[in-house]
Structure 1
Amino acid sequence: MDLTNEQLWSSAINFDMAASRLRIIIKGLNDALTYLRCEELGIDWWGTMDEKYEHESIYNLAILAFEHYLKTVLTDYKLVNEEDNPQLYYSDPDISLIFVLAKYIKNELESPQKVLSHYNLNIHDYPVYNGIIALNLQKDLNEIMKQMQNWRIKIINLYYQESKQNNLLGKK
């Protein structure tokens, strides 16, 4: 028995294994942020803790985890190539910011300051930390993850809508 397009769509919307994995990673990073803050404040009697500096490396890991999740979504729906589907990679400013920050972290940007300035970020002022703030003012990694899951739903709807149109036209 073949599943209908609607059944496949419903299953895709309701079952997201990659989000489960990402949730575990983000919980660990949130715990690391909490632990760091408690430890630093415990010994920082003079108020010299530089939160941007201290949190930048943890946020680097969060951005790379977010990018991995987004690429998993695109791979699952055969939308892998950024050049073929730039509207998907850059359809949402928050999603494109995650991709840009991940490229920055991995040193894959040709002119990082030019690209980062598009998002009002400065290469010399903790761009990942400030990028997290641009994604969520409260720096809530769980809320950023929810934004990505909403984007995933848009991708699924787009994919199944296109699939449905192809079926109506008799294409495979």
Structure 2
Amino acid sequence: MGEGPVECAVYYIHRCSASFRNGSDLRPLYNFITAALAPPAGGEWKCPVLIIDDVSVLLSLGVTSVQVLDFIHYCRAGVCSRYQGNVVCLVQGDEGSEDAEYELLLRSLCHQSGLLLQVEGLVTGFCKDVHGELTITRRTHNTERPVTYQYKIHDKSVSFFARGLSAAVL
């Protein structure tokens, strides 16, 4: 396995997944992230971003939603407060899920977030020129301002446009 931070993080989670199944907490993972985010001697970070790709995987490893939320809280406190950075979390699934742990995690993360990006396929089904919708909700001072765009995925890029303004309509 390589020596880069991504390979190290994947290896670390794989190595610790057995202890997650036993109901242990996420402190060792948090300590690993904190150590990885520590700036080099005499240096400093400028606005680091911690990306947690599919936080719901932790639920499938036996970690409770409360433990995951505590973990995210501490990550946000460290990255956002200490380094003036951001934490980005991916949560996959349906909002109408019957899994209570997943629902608690999803609703709590949405409540804590300043910016929500919700990507979904078209409710009407497949379309050649529109592949889905992206809803961006910016939460400021107790107000939510959602904006919805449609998108089309190309070989190496994505096109975004307002509803009803795809190339097929125009």
| TM-score, L = length of structure 1 | 0.30
Higher relative contact order (CA 8 A, sep 6+): 1
Bigger proportion of residues as helix: 1
